[in-house]
Amino acid sequence: MRLRHYCGFCGGPLGALTGSKQVCAACGEACYHNAKPCAAVIILDRAGRVLLGRRAIEPALGLWDLPGGFCHPDETPEACAVREVMEETGCTIRIERFLDHLIDVYGSGGDHTLNAVFTARIITGEPTPADDVAELRWYDLTALPPVEQLAFANTRRALAALQTAAGRNQG
């Protein structure tokens, strides 16, 4: 977690971290270090393969990630999931179910993220990489990229949870 030096409201000096906040010495506003809400989407095809995108930007440039991103201030994680998938793949999705909430850190020394993970199906469109995604590829759950090529801890955990659920369904 990165501490802040200056108040975002008045530019005054922020005090030490107490609990999860720093208070401005000048105006008294608090800077809260909440996790930033994000959505991540496990898009599955009829064959049970998952769609991964190779990141075109830092952090984790060149590594494989689930489509998704940061929620806008007025957005639910579900709406964020639909918007991000449209931006990154050009596809419309239907969310099937909520899988889990995963806490992570965005990049080295970055802010905490609260990742709402959903499973979804494509309704319209052919996946075409755009925005901060360089390449899109369907992966069989038994032949995912090696973990060191997955972008974030929450990517690895979401895919592991999916593999566990798929194994349960087969057994």
List of residues contacting Zn ion (CB under 5 A): 7, 9-10, 12, 24, 26-27, 29
Task: Let me know: does 30 contact 22? Beta carbons within 8 Å.
Answer: yes
Structure tokens at 134: 């360089």
Min dist CB 29 to Zn ion, Å, is 5
CB of 109 to Zn ion, least distance (A): 24
Q: What is the longest distance spanned by two Cα atoms in the chain?
A: 61
Query: Looking at beta carbons only, is 31 or 144 nearer to Zn ion?
Result: 31
CB of 6 to Zn ion, least distance (A): 8
Least distance to Zn ion from the beta carbon of 25, Å? Answer: 8
Q: How far is the CB of 8 from Zn ion (least distance, A)?
A: 8
User: Closer to Zn ion at the Cβ: 13 or 110?
Assistant: 13
Could you give the angle at the alpha carbon of 133 between the alpha carbons of 35 and 164, nearest 5°?
65
10 vs 165, beta carbon nearer Zn ion: 10
Q: Judging by beta carbons within 10 Å of its beta carbon (0-12, 13-18, 19+), is residue 94 exposed, middle or buried?
A: exposed
C-alpha angle with apex 158: 40 to 56, nearest 5 degrees?
50
Q: Coil, strand, or helix at residue 25?
A: coil
3-state secondary structure of 10: coil
Closer residue to Zn ion, CB minimum distance, 1 or 26: 26
For Zn ion, the closer of residues 17 and 166 by Cβ is 17
Please compute, for residue 46, the number of CA atoms within 13 A of its CA located in the half-sphere on the CB side: 1
